[in-house]
Chains A and B, each alone.
Chain A
């Protein structure tokens, strides 16, 4: 009975704490401070930083290709277990086929030309070279101005993910999307990814990236702009909206996560399936979120091993991947399989070519390979998550900038509007997309472009950015 007494006491303590937290936690509407920094090698020099914007072209050389081919030729594969498909990770039988295509048909020189079709630049900010693509509309009707749109990629993606959606946004009329809103698109590479220099100092997190991109937009002469992102880009764009709400006209996201989970979330998980209306869930929310164990808990356990090891030992896990292009491909392709559709794990080829071409997938991988950036790309996880999920200052702050959310059905985790609203206090549009997964811009550029356009239309028509 003393044990029962202790148990009862425990239960009261826990409930009491939750109650107090729930009652007394309030929304924090402060802005997030701009994070200045110096990420270059060694000491920050006395001289003023060179702020010129230099044109950049991706280049390749014979040596680079022959080195790659030698490594592909000498790749050591391990036979998969019988009937394992993609359940143990990337299936090496299928990987062999991809490598064969990579050696014999993939044309890197041609792909470099594809990459160079959009103007690219580099500029030094906070001590490191920032790479970005800047595409202006090919033609602007009389009296119309292009709206600047900053689009940020994530991991294991790159600026290349936006290559199909860019023309839909800079030249919507030619693609049947009307000419009401025309954008000039800026796609930077996150420092440590692709052709952006990697930070040499510790502690470069999403707020640092947002601050750097904020400086970039100001340097390009944009005082007001829209921003769009998913995966890492979701977090960086959110931080940017928190740092400079007066400059961000609208924030469009194709992925959302929330880190402050409280009693109401717990209750909605337990009861939301039976009383959806009570918790603000729509039918589609219920369809995407339940059964909870399968769609959340088991999925997190089975899919987030990479995040766990990258948050704790990025230099270890990335080491071999920067040395073995096949290993790098296996690691990255696995995500383009599962995160596009979890059911693809049951296919022998991981469903990779159902939504993407091998040329596109390999071009993205080559960006990681030729720039040698896999380790620095993984360090971003450590810098953001090492203190725990939801432990950073920005996790506790809300976003008041007009926000549009495109919720894709095969996104890794579905966050209902009812939950997103607690952080994004000014959700202007929230749409359940009919198809598509995590790499929205890469996989469903037209769907995403349409959603961005309708969002911007709402913000502009109702002049929502002025209402803040």
Chain B
């Protein structure tokens, strides 16, 4: 009452003197709120972490040494493997199953026979050791990585640092064929040598020779931070990033976290969810009027029939994701104890994710794109390091939280996307633009699937180089 009478008692000019600034403040405030909300956050917080066993040690400085590392094996390891292969208990497939029920056990028997009698792990270890390996401790755990420099650099040639990150069920080994194309392109007939890289391929903590985190909640953001620290420790201030599968998520987080350190981000897999009404409507209309929604003809070809390709196929292929994101310790237990079980589980992905039509083949089409030596070497990395369970936990740690933060923070660094035709889900450029604000190149690759570096190293290398060339001309 008294306030109201007080206000009424102001004369006109005094009222203006109060009301106008209040109104301005009000409108300004609303404007500011509207500008900020729905506006994406600028960057992901860097944060910090400790993943070692037990309590974080007090203020002592972490050992930052970079220690050379060589993969080793022993008679005992090989004999143990052979014994397990010998006592594998086989279940015959149903008649006509091909790869529709998962990995066909009749073909698996042939793989096991090769593994037991012809696969030479000692020789493969030498192959793995042909590139220099290192370990360094970051946030309490040992990070493994290979670091390959060009053997010969002509005077004045700039060598660009490139961090390449693998995914699941892959490893640093996926990059072994592409590395020489990037460190010595001229030798492989790729270009005149104007774009040359030194390549760093780490193992995600919990994968291969990187120590597994001992604490909960180790997600892609923690990984991104650790890889930034790794690159800094190696003396790099600005670098290129490349990734697929989890590597795509991690490198994207790296670009969202410290954009000033990322000269360019190249991806062969893009994770975008259909989380807005606009996308839903766009998807439905896109089948009939793709040009209206911004789809190219190739987009339409790869996206439709929509339900079949994006819902049915995805449901069929994501059982592993569902169980790993919820019960990783259960799912991985038997696989760490049975090398054949591990091989079936991992190699099934190398079949279906390379080409969906491989489901209809009795041998899963595996040897049409890869050699058994290559496939088994990747499996052996999981086997000898006993890392299958920790590799699966990564799914739980990443899917448990609100994942929308990834899509709400824009990626402003120059981005290049290589869209491979047999990738599990095709993401058109118009969708990618939602998150990746600065797409410099978007290429429809002529062939290849999920494991791009492993399967089509030359195509991928060429796309990376033409992307980097465009970035540097800017």
Check B216 against A84 for contact (C-beta < 8 Å): yes
Is B368 on the interface with A (CB-CB < 8 A)? no
Which of A117-125, A251-259, A302-310, A417-425 contacts the other chain? A302-310
In residues 293-337 of chain A, which contact B (Cβ within 8 Å)? 301-306, 308-324, 326-328, 330-331, 334
Minimum distance in angstroms from B207 CB to a CB of chain A: 13
Q: Tell me, in angstroms, the Cα distance from A330 to B325 when the chains sit together.
A: 17
In residues 1-53 of chain A, which contact B (Cβ within 8 Å)? 3, 6-7, 10, 41-42
Which of B37-45, B83-91, B240-248 contacts the other chain? B83-91
Which of A107-115, A375-383, A450-458 contacts the other chain? A375-383
Is B456 on the interface with A (CB-CB < 8 A)? no
Is A82 on the interface with B (CB-CB < 8 A)? yes
Check B334 against A76 for contact (C-beta < 8 Å): no
Check A89 against B331 for contact (C-beta < 8 Å): yes
Is A104 on the interface with B (CB-CB < 8 A)? no
Q: Tell me, in angstroms, the Cα distance from A89 to B89 when the chains sit together.
A: 25
Which of B65-73, B93-101, B403-411, B431-439 contacts the other chain? B93-101
* Residues from chain B with Cβ under 8 Å of A200 in the complex: 92, 94-95
Q: Tell me, in angstroms, the Cα distance from A334 to B332 when the chains sit together.
A: 13
Q: Tell me, in angstroms, the Cα distance from A88 to B91 when the chains sit together.
A: 28
Which of A90-98, A134-142, A232-240 contacts the other chain? A90-98
* Residues from chain A with Cβ under 8 Å of B75 in the complex: none
Chain B residues within 8 Å of chain A by Cβ, number: 61
- Contact A323 B319, CB 8 Å, known A80-B329, A91-B329, A200-B94: no
* Residues from chain B with Cβ under 8 Å of A302 in the complex: 326
Which of B9-17, B103-111, B132-140 contacts the other chain? B103-111
* Residues from chain A with Cβ under 8 Å of B333 in the complex: 77-78, 89-90, 92, 95, 324, 326-327, 330-331
Is A57 on the interface with B (CB-CB < 8 A)? no
Check A324 against B341 for contact (C-beta < 8 Å): yes
Check A88 against B329 for contact (C-beta < 8 Å): yes
Is A144 on the interface with B (CB-CB < 8 A)? no
- Contact A324 B337, CB 8 Å, known A312-B315, A331-B330, A372-B91: yes
Is B318 on the interface with A (CB-CB < 8 A)? yes
Is B265 on the interface with A (CB-CB < 8 A)? no
Which residue of chain A has the shortest Cβ distance to B87 in the bound complex? A67
Indicate with 1 or 0, residue by residue over B314-348, a CB within 8 angstroms of chain A CB atoms: 01111110111111111111111110111011001
Chain A residues within 8 Å of chain B by Cβ, number: 65
Minimum distance in angstroms from A173 CB to a CB of chain B: 43
Is A105 on the interface with B (CB-CB < 8 A)? no
Is B402 on the interface with A (CB-CB < 8 A)? no
Q: Tell me, in angstroms, the Cα distance from A326 to B388 when the chains sit together.
A: 15
Which residue of chain A has the shortest Cβ distance to B105 in the bound complex? A315
Main secondary structure of the interface of A (DSSP, over half): helix
* Residues from chain A with Cβ under 8 Å of B334 in the complex: 320-321, 323-324, 326-328, 330-331
Is B80 on the interface with A (CB-CB < 8 A)? yes
Minimum distance in angstroms from B258 CB to a CB of chain A: 28
The one of A42, A67, A308 in contact with B323, judged by C-beta atoms closer than 8 angstroms, is A308
Q: Tell me, in angstroms, the Cα distance from A70 to B80 when the chains sit together.
A: 12
Which residue of chain B has the shortest Cβ distance to A88 in the bound complex? B329
Is B390 on the interface with A (CB-CB < 8 A)? yes
Check B336 against A312 for contact (C-beta < 8 Å): no
Is B266 on the interface with A (CB-CB < 8 A)? no
Q: Tell me, in angstroms, the Cα distance from A406 to B369 when the chains sit together.
A: 54
Is B466 on the interface with A (CB-CB < 8 A)? no
Minimum distance in angstroms from A312 CB to a CB of chain B: 4
Q: Tell me, in angstroms, the Cα distance from A382 to B342 when the chains sit together.
A: 21
Check A316 against B348 for contact (C-beta < 8 Å): yes
* Residues from chain A with Cβ under 8 Å of B344 in the complex: 315-316, 319-320
Is B281 on the interface with A (CB-CB < 8 A)? yes
Which residue of chain B has the shortest Cβ distance to A333 in the bound complex? B330
Check B341 against A315 for contact (C-beta < 8 Å): no
Which B residues lie at the A interface, using CB under 8 A?
53, 80, 84, 87-89, 91-97, 101-105, 108, 213-216, 277-278, 281, 315-320, 322-338, 340-342, 344-345, 348, 386, 388-390, 393, 396
List 7 other contacts, CB 8 Å, given A42-B95, A88-B396, A372-B89.
A88-B328, A90-B327, A95-B333, A305-B331, A306-B323, A316-B345, A320-B344
